[in-house]
């Protein structure tokens, strides 16, 4: 297994989040990735790679130039050490929530995270069977033309589009974050060359309040978008049943590459999740994914308790048999 990591993610330091009209400490801290790195370093000390260089034009595979220019301009307007909170009313800014602050270096750091995912995709093309991309900030909430949910560029979607465009591959994305990947869904909603499956919290109460079962795709993409929401408090038994169905669907689609948007905020002790998974459940998740005999690219999404992140990834890797 190869691991893609860039230490500059530590320069992404959001301090605050506006949640239900209250200021709270932002949960996307660097330590959540550093704890994952510690575990992976102990297991695979010689497997780490830095991100490759890619032209920034590749952002246009997923994001329109108007959005890219907007984010770059907003960053240039923010003083170092300050945070700009997008104004979502009347679509003044290209953001759909008020919990995703923009800082002077947000564009730079988000682009580096995208390069981590793109490097993982290129390594899959170079015949690696399993690659883990330690991306931060996360990406699956980023729509084509809007940031949100702590996400600025959609890392998993960029990797999928890179594989589809550069190698004409059919790709499946399995989203295992507690929160529905509304951005990834939107980007591929009318496509049949990328299958999107998400297991997530009930959208009636879980951010971003999307991902109902009847959201199945549109046009050529009808039937290629599958949402499997579960009630708050769901444990391993129900989760693994849903995962079994998802894996069967992936096998039927028969993709050439599987991208896993991996979130550890499904752990029972995650501060902003709502499921009750334990370490043994992550082992079982790894076993289920291992049975899918196709190249796999893991792209890190959520997981906001650094210690449980470390325990979860260790169990996941054991399940994968790596």
Measured between alpha carbons, how far is 141 from 220 in angstroms, rounded to an integer? 23
The candidate with the shortest Cα–Cα distance to 120, out of 292, 303, 319, 296, is: 296
> Is residue 12 annotated as part of the catalytic site, yes or no?
no
Pairing of strands 296-300, 130-133: parallel
Among 9, 26, 141, 267, the active-site one is: 141
Rounded to 5°, angle at Cα 63 from 130 and 34? 45
* DSSP H stretches of helix in 106-223: 106-125, 155-167, 182-188
Burial label, 237 (beta-carbon count in 10 A; 0-12, 13-18, 19+): exposed
Residues 6+ positions from 126 with CB-CB distance below 8 Å: none
Measured between alpha carbons, how far is 310 from 3 in angstroms, rounded to an integer? 15
Paired with 296 in beta bridges are 130, 258
Residues that are catalytic: 141
């Amino acid at each position: 297994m190869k691991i893609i990591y860039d230490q500059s993610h530590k320069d992404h330091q959001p301090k605050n989040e506006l949640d239900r009209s209250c200021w709270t400490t932002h949960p996307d801290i660097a330590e959540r990735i550093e704890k994952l790195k510690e575990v992976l370093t102990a297991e695979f000390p010689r497997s780490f790679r830095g991100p490759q260089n890619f032209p920034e034009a590749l952002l246009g595979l997923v994001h329109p130039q108007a959005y890219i220019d907007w984010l770059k301009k907003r960053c240039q307007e923010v003083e170092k050490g300050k945070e700009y909170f997008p104004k979502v009313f009347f679509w003044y800014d290209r953001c759909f929530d008020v919990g995703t602050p923009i800082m002077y270096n947000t564009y730079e750091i988000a682009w580096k995270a995208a390069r981590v995912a793109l490097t993982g995709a290129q390594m899959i093309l170079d015949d690696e069977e399993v690659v883990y991309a330690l991306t931060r900030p996360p990406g699956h909430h980023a729509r084509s033309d809007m940031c949100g949910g702590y996400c600025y560029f959609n890392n998993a979607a960029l990797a999928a589009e890179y594989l589809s465009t550069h190698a004409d591959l059919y790709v499946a994305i399995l989203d295992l974050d507690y929160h529905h990947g509304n951005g990834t869904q939107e980007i591929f909603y009318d496509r049949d060359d990328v299958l999107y499956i998400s297991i997530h919290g009930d959208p009636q109460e879980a951010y971003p309040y999307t991902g109902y079962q009847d959201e199945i795709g549109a046009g050529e993409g009808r039937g290629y978008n599958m949402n499997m929401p579960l009630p708050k408090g769901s444990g391993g038994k129900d989760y693994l049943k849903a995962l079994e169905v998802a894996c069967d669907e992936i096998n039927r689609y028969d993709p050439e590459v599987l991208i896993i948007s991996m979130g550890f905020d499904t752990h029972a002790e995650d501060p902003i999740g709502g499921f009750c998974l334990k370490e043994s459940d992550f082992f079982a998740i790894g076993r289920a994914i291992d049975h899918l005999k196709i190249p796999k690219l893991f792209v890190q999404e959520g997981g906001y308790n650094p210690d449980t992140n470390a325990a979860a990834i260790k169990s996941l890797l054991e399940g994968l048999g790596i």
